Structure formats: C-alpha cells, structure tokens
Amino acid sequence: MAVPDFEDVVDARDFILPYLPPTPLVHCWGLSRLLGCDFYLKCENCQPVGAFKVRGGVNLVGRLSEAEKAVGVIAASTGNHGQSLAFAGRTFGVPVVIYCPEENVNPAKVQAMRDLGAEVRLHGADFDAAREEVERVVGREGYRYVHSANEPLLIAGVGTMGLEIFAELPDVEVIVVPVGGGSGACGNAIVAKRLNRAVRVIGVQSESAPAAWRGWKRRTLDVEAEMGTPHEGLATRVPFALTMRIMWELLDDFVTVSDAEIDEGIRLIAEHARMVAEGAGAAALAGARKLRDELRGKKVVGILSGGNLPLGRYAAILRAH
C-alpha cells in the first residue's frame, strides 16, 4: 500500500470541497479554563453524517473507476465508516453494503446508513468479527472492499481537517486525536509534520480497547488486546498495518483513558461547548485532561471526531453526574 503524503491531502481537499464545506474550529472558554490552555474543538460532529470519516469516504468513492462504481463497495463498520461510504455512495450513485456487529451496535448509525441507501447486514459480536466476515465474502460477491484504515485515499481525505485547522489557527501547538483504526491521527499528523514539525500530534485510545496503543508502544502489529469499550468508534481489537506505519513515524505521543473519563468528556463538552460528542469524539478532551500539565499555556486543538451518540446513552451519561 502506498503511504499518502501531504500532496495527497491537498488534492483531497480540492476534490471534496464541492461536497463537504469546512467544519467549525471553536475556541472553548470553559474548557480552556479547566485545562489551563487555549483549547479549541474541531467540530467534525457538524459533518452531514455527524463524523469526520465522511471526508475519506467522499475522496475514495468519488475517485473509483466507472466499473468499480457500477459494482459497488462493501465494508465493515461500527457506524461512522459505514455512514461515510453510504453518504458517498448516495452522492456518486454507487451501491454500498455495510457489515455491522450484532452486539454493541449504535442503532441510530445503522438507521442512518439505511436512510442513505446502504444495505446493512448484521454479523458477529464486534467490529473485527464483522470485518473478518466481509473479507470472507468479498471475493464471492465482487464488491470493491473498503477497509476502514488501510486505504490511502481515506487517510488523505480525513487529513483535510488538518489543513482546515492550520488555515484558521496557524500557531496551533498541539493536536489531540482519538484513535480507533487510526486514520484521523494519521491524516492530522501528515499535515502537521509538513506545515510545522514542532506541532505535537497526540493519539488517545480507550484503555478498554488498547490494540493500537499497544502496537504503537511495542512497534509491532502482533499484539493481543481486550476490547470492552462501549464507545463503538474506538472499539477495535487489532492494529492495522498502514495506519500503524504512519503513526510509528509521525505520532508524537499516545495515551489511553478510561471509559469513565471519556463519559466525563462527553458531559464536559455538553456543559461548556453545548455540543453532543460520541465517545470517540470526547476521547480527545479526556486525553487533554490527562496531559493537562504538559499542555498548560499552549494552543491545543481537540478533534471532536463525531457526535452520533444514542439518545438513551447520552441521557444516562448526563444523569450520572
């Protein structure tokens, strides 16, 4: 697989702009006071599907050959990758099949994929079980398989959020990014290390699903990790080759946070930013709170990667405080 570079991200920005306008970068006074830094949220929850991955979906699906578009695409997803492809499929007239896990699935995301015209098939206990099933059936069904991480065009597409950050805040010092498969961390790191190598890019993962964190720490793909987080955007149990290769080279630090700390991040974003963040979307804030001492006085951007949180879970998190 080719590793995407800065020029690929710039090209992706030009390609996706007619379909996806830039998202807001919001300075949060309350969170800045809480953290002791100038803290901004990159609001990917404002995307038409409520999450950052749509940038990559549009960049990849829109560039398929006419033959590939006619056949369609297939993927595994806990929701946001699938919504991304469903949106892109609707935009470009491409059939889309998404395998989702039967357990711990976000029903709002499943319904959103169906509303966008995708065929959704439920299979297995978690994301990786659904992914393994896709990899078994793809050859038989003939679709173009779109992996959630090992896709250069996806990574280049999601990297466009980094270009938007630097356009609005050229003196940014730290970017904190949630990590599930790692495409968001990779895209932001590719941009940051070209525009200002002094900018630190920090990944955050749930300690209940630490596969990528362990792989990054040990510099190996051969890791065993539990997967118990309820936050589906972070719920992977194996690291992926392309994103790990990029993170090994470009990521400055990588931390884990508890699911309780992520829940608190959801509540704090609701209180101080008046926005809905799903678990993955609040992980950056949870990581920034953990690193508060080293971030003090700096200009920090946290990637609010998505806001697709089931209403019942959101209400329970807010009531628990």
203-236 pLDDT, tens digit per residue, is 999 999 999 999 999 999 998 788 888 888 888 8
Residue 53, Cβ density class (10 Å: 0-12 exposed, 13-18 middle, ≥19 buried):
buried
Q: What is the Cα–Cα distance from 98 to 143, expressed in whole angstroms?
A: 11
Task: State the average pLDDT for the chain.
Answer: 95
Q: Based on the residue annotation, tell me whether 84 is a catalytic residue of this protein.
A: no
- At 106 the pLDDT is 84
- At 5 the pLDDT is 98
- At 284 the pLDDT is 98
Element (H, E) at 69: helix 66-71
Q: What is the Cα–Cα distance from 280 to 277, expressed in whole angstroms?
A: 8
Of residues 202 and 226, more confidently modeled: 202
Widest CA span in the chain: 55
Which among 32, 42, 53, 148 is annotated as catalytic? 53
Q: For residue range 23-53, what is the model confidence (pLDDT) as tens digits?
A: 999 999 999 999 999 999 999 999 999 999 9
Contact 209, 236 (CB under 8 A): yes
Q: Based on the residue annotation, tell me whether 77 is a catalytic residue of this protein.
A: no
Nearest to 151 by CA among 220, 74, 83: 74
How many CB atoms sit inside 10 A of residue 171's CB?
9
Domains plus CATH for the chain? 6-51+153-319 (3.40.50.1100), 54-148 (3.40.50.1100)
Of the pLDDT bands very low, low, confident and very high (cuts 50, 70, 90), residue 237 is confident
